[in-house]
Amino acid sequence: MKESKMHRKGGRNVSTRQMWGFKGVRALLLMALILIAASCGVGQQAQQGGGGGGGPTKICMMPKLVGIPYFNAAEKGAKEAAEQLDIQLVYDGPTEAKAALQSQMIEQWIQQQCSAITVAANDPNALAPAMKKAGDAGIKTGAWDADVAQDARDVFVNQATFEAIGYKMVDLMAEQTGGKGKFLVVTGSLTAPNQVAWLKYMRERMKEKYPEMSIASVQPGEEDLQKGIDITKNYLQANPDTAGVFGITSVALPGAAEAVKQIGRQGEVAVTGLSTPNEMKPYVNAGVVEKFALWNTVDLGYLAVYVANAQVEGNLPKSGTFKAGRLGKVKMLAPDEVLLGPPVVFSKENIDQYDF
Amino acid sequence: MSEARAPTEGRRVSRGEVLRRFMVRPEAPALVFLAVLVAAFSLSSDKFLSGTNFESIVISVAVLGIIALAVNQVVLCGEIDISTGSMMGLCAVAAGAVALSTGGLILPLLAAVAVGALCGAINGLLVTAGRIPSIIVTLGMLYALRGVILLVTGGTWITGVPNEARVLGTGTVLGVGYPVIILFALFLVMELVSRHSTWGRNVFAVGGNRRAARFAGLPIDRVRVLAFTLVGVFVGIASVIYMGRAGSVQTNTGTGLELQVVAAVVIGGTSISGGRGSSLAALTGAVLIGVILNGLVLLGVPGIWQQAVLGALILLAVATDVLRRRLVEGKA
Amino acid sequence: MSAAAAVLRRLTFSREVVLLGVLIVLMIVMSILSPFFLTVNNLLNTSRFFVEVGLMSLGMTLIIITGGIDLSVGSNLGLSSVAIGFSFAAGLPLPLAIVLGLVVGTAAGLFNGLFITLLDLHPLVVTLGTFALFQGLAYGATGAEAVSDFPGWFAYFGQAYLGPVPGQLFIFIVAVVMVWLILSRSRFGRYVYAIGNNEEAARFSGVPIRRVKIAIYSGIGLLVGMAAVIYTSRVYTARGDSGLGLELDVISAVVLGGASIYGGSGTIAGTVLGVLIIATLRNGLTLAGVPSTWVLFVLGVLLLVAVFFNEFFRVKEE
């Protein structure tokens, strides 16, 4: 193996390469030894990071992803609550809405000795193992905004029931279209559990109360504004008798509104759905969208921190109501579910009061 | 990147046949494919060839096409740029921020172009002076710039861009949308520059055979830095059009665009090894992608298959390019 | 300079020793930033996260040594992952589903290899195309849904421990040793270096270039399949978008480890150190409370800096 091609043109010679390889192995062994020595000598936390292991309460809160206004708003509320309660808050999440990245971060947080971990899950089952591990390590577990599997967390902070949201959107649309017509629904992804649930209740509401309304098509906008605009435009051009468009995510609704505005059909085609007020202000003020719904996302973040703190202190009730700071009495839907309240309807009259 | 192989001598016209001369052009297969597709789609769906639909296709590919025209030059000189998606996001953020604070159109446009040119220049310098292969530079920049966007915006979107800043996206001149006009104007500019300017011809030379170009004394580094910077400038322009159309700038604006841009360039007929191609190829590729994506929606194909179609097209395009060259130019 | 001093000098400045130094410094910095970093639990826990990238980096080392590149490994992982999950959900017994995942991964790699060699195309654009194609197939075939109902024992690949040590670490160590043997102690390995140094000369020397290339692209496909099994087990979900973005970490690790992107040099030891450095950075920054957005930026910059110094020192040596 030791060819002595010491003077090969322009590059490493083979025997040097053999040496590198061998030296490399020795380097690796050396490093392994150092690692073992270091970890034995340093850091005597032999047990996994545990909850309540002395020190101030640390709530670790994770959104679906960082970098979108909806979760920035939740962060605002969460920080407010943490200040009021005088506890430490870690609010962080992956830069993409992926469950795998979330579960990795959760596992890293277990090492950080959080008192409680609460997460808005991108996928309820994928996060279950990581959350269970956190639970086993003595950390209080919870979910907010989007639930994980029920046996993987102690409590879920729900912003509004799927039923309330689905029904409200249909009611708003019925107001504007006289309770009849064919409608397009622009959603985020066809598989997001909450969006699927809303669709179910929307259809239910239409069947019960507005039999002349029907959902003609459901298109995924994939949380991409331009895509939402293009999809809505294409659909409306292909189906000009559409009575209205539901945009049921905070990206889909402004996209639908923009599309209707660009093809000049505001007033003819009703637009409503779910989104954040700041995104929708231009469209509400221009009359493209009369009313739309959401919940107060800032309050949701605020409540999630209060609930997590109550878990840590051990005084979260199992039923009835629970006092959460400035929100007052908040309802317990079930021993493991807290409800923020009914959806908020935004319109020209009240939209300027909100800043998120 | 490995050195370019034996120089492909562009269009070696052996006989005077017009057809043969056409088929040898790099953009020929793409143009033929485009014609076939347009015919097929308009036969299968009467909504396809309606004026509004066709215009909407071109508008939706305007952003893609403008960037592809510039990336085309980068590919022609033997490099590649896969950072354009994040670059566009950053330029759009700059344009949006300026538009919100000062209003008007010129200032946001200048801001976007300046930011784009800066990023492009960084790419170019890292490739030439840093001697880092362009695939790595632009891969690193793709992620680094996306991080910059998140850091600079703090995660908030830019919404409520005033109408005067959105003119390039939504305005019309004589009934034709600005994006279309700008796309074709830039196409003409690139055609002229590419064929009749020193720099344009140098680009072909550097991409065709870098060693020969170096021996011939061509300023290889300057040629490439200019190409990368040009990408930045065009990305800046495109970002203002995007912002105009969308009305707001998200933190994930532009994600995935870089793949479509390279696909457009390659599918249109420009060779990835450099030295062969044209601006018409880039334009054709962009329009082709727009037609295909639009056609897929019309045919009711679910959006999730788009990536697969894009990938298959890229592979088909490069394979066709190789096979066609072997066939037409008689190489073994 | 005496022979002993010359050897000592080469030992001191060998690429791998420099990397080792960087790794140690990095670990010290991270442990200062966060008291939780340098604990046995954390280090072992972190090792669970880098095995997938590590396996793929081993294969990528060979590819980059030959002057090629493979941008499709991330998408391939997603494709293999859904092959496992969805075939299982459709009724295939899990062990067979796992084998199917390995087969799909290898087949995808083989597809790359054939496309590149038979059509004599640049690996860059072929794998750019397959990057989109594999991801698109993974999404389209599964309707962007996910499968999460795996039986308990499936977790062993990604979540089991042998004593305190995570199971997949052993798989990784075995893979490292095997690939290192292939690369530095076999004729195949020499072929790989030969192709990277000068492909024309290698062809004239009788190196079976096509077969070697097909082998390395299929090989990384197999490693991707293995990584997919471990990844799917660790996150307990099979989704089409698993693994997207990992190609950045993989290529960064190999380049950081000293391989020249132009081909001709690179070692397994270097790559492994590169993988460890990146894993340390990711884990350390998160523990220190650095937001994810900064981490993204840091990794992009790291890639650029790493390659820059690579080429800078390479020229110095010559």
C98-116 pLDDT tens trace: 999 999 999 999 999 999 9
Interatomic CA distance for residues B121 and C68, integer angstroms: 26
Residue B16 lies in a domain: no
Q: Tell me whether residue B324 is in a domain.
A: no
Largest CA distance in chain C: 70
Neighbours, chain A (3 or more CB pairs < 8 A): B, C
Find chains touching chain B: ≥3 CB pairs under 8 Å: A, C
Mean pLDDT of C102-131: 93
pLDDT tens per residue, range C50-88: 999 999 999 999 999 999 999 999 999 999 999 998 888
Per-residue pLDDT at B171 exceeds 80:
yes
CATH code for the domain defined by A162-294: 3.40.50.2300
The enclosing domain of B218 has a CATH number of: 1.10.3470
In chain A, the residue whose alpha carbon lies closest to the alpha carbon of B163 is: A282
Highest mean pLDDT among A197-201, A272-276, B117-121, C306-310: B117-121
B279 and B200 in contact (C-beta within 8 Å)? no
How many C-beta neighbours within 10 Å does residue C48 have?
Answer: 21
pLDDT for A104 beyond 50? yes
Contact criterion met (CB < 8 Å) for B159 and A278: yes
Nearest CB to B311 within list C131, C263, C304: C131
Could you report the per-residue pLDDT of C136-164, keeping only the tens digit for each?
A: 899 888 876 777 777 777 776 666 676 66
Q: Which of residues 125-154 of B touch A (CB under 8 A)?
A: 146, 150, 153-154
Which of A331-335, C10-14, C66-70, C294-298 shows the lowest mean pLDDT across its residues? C10-14
Cβ contact (<8 Å) for B139 and C144? no
Of B144, B307, B312, the CB nearest to C300: B144
Helix (H), strand (E) at residue C166: strand C165-166
Structure tokens at B71: 């990336």
Q: How far apart are the first and last CA of chain C?
A: 18
CA quadruple C26, C28, C34, C35: dihedral, nearest 10: 150
CB-count exposure of residue C78 (10 Å: 0-12, 13-18, 19+): buried
The DSSP secondary-structure symbol of C154 reads G
Residues of chain A with CATH 3.40.50.2300: 58-159+297-340, 162-294
Mark which residues 155-194 of C lie under 8 Å from A by CB: 155, 159, 180, 183-185, 190, 193
Residue B242 is assigned to a structural domain of this protein: yes
pLDDT in tens, B282-300: 999 999 888 887 777 777 6
| Of C8 and C222, the one with more pLDDT | C222
pLDDT for the residue numbered A41: 38
Query: What pLDDT, on a 0 to 100 scale, did the predictor assign at position B115?
Result: 97
CA angle A312, A317, A322 (to 5 degrees): 95
Q: What is the pLDDT of residues A280-319, one digit of tens each?
A: 888 998 888 989 999 989 999 999 999 999 999 888 888 8
Residue C82: what residue type? V
Residue C8: other Cβ atoms inside 10 A: 12
Please report the pLDDT score of residue A54 as a whole number.
Answer: 52
Tell if the CB–CB gap between A100 and C242 is shorter than 8 Å.
yes
Tell me how far CA of residue B12 lies from CA of B22, B142, B330, in angstroms: 12, 38, 11
Contact status, residue B95 vs residue B108, Cβ threshold 8 Å: yes
**From CA A248, how far away is CA A273, in angstroms rounded?**
5
- Smallest Cα–Cα separation from B177: which of B114, B125, B81, B244? B244
Cα–Cα distance measured from residue B167 to residue B154, given in angstroms and rounded to the nearest whole number: 27
pLDDT average, residue stretch C233-261: 84
Positive or negative, the Cα torsion across A300, A301, A302, A304? positive
Domain residues for the domain of B222 are: 51-318
Asked whether residue B332 is domain-assigned, the answer is no
The token pair at C263 is 């081909």
Is the model's pLDDT at C13 over the cut of 70? no
- Rounded to whole angstroms, how far apart are CA atoms B58 and B177? 10
* pLDDT tens sequence across C21-47: 888 888 888 888 888 888 887 888 888
Burial class (CB in 10 A: 0-12, 13-18, 19+), C176: buried
CB atoms within 10 A of CB A168: 25
Q: In chain C, what residues touch B82 (CB-CB under 8 Å)?
A: 128
**What is the number of structural domains in chain B?**
1
Neighbours of C307 (CB within 10 A): 26
pLDDT tier at C300 (50, 70, 90 boundaries)?
Answer: confident
Tokens of B260: 């479509």
Token reading at B312? 């298959």
Chain B interface test: which of A75, A92, A218, A226 (most B C-beta within 10 Å)? A226
Q: Is residue B141 part of a domain?
A: yes
What tokens does B243 get?
Answer: 């912002």
Closest CA to B183 of B54, B75, B61, B72: B61
Tokens of B10: 């562009």
Give the nearest partner residue to A72 out of B146, B156, B303, using CB atoms.
B156
pLDDT digits (tens, 9 = 90+) for B64-120: 999 999 999 999 999 999 999 999 999 999 999 999 998 888 999 999 999 999 999
User: Each residue of B21-41: pLDDT tens digit?
Assistant: 777 788 888 888 888 888 888
- Protein fold of A58-159+297-340: Rossmann fold (3.40.50)
Is pLDDT at A36 greater than 60 in this prediction? no
Question: A238 — contact with chain B (CB < 8 Å)?
Answer: yes
8 Å CB contact of B143 and C311:
no
Give me C241's structure tokens: 């978008």
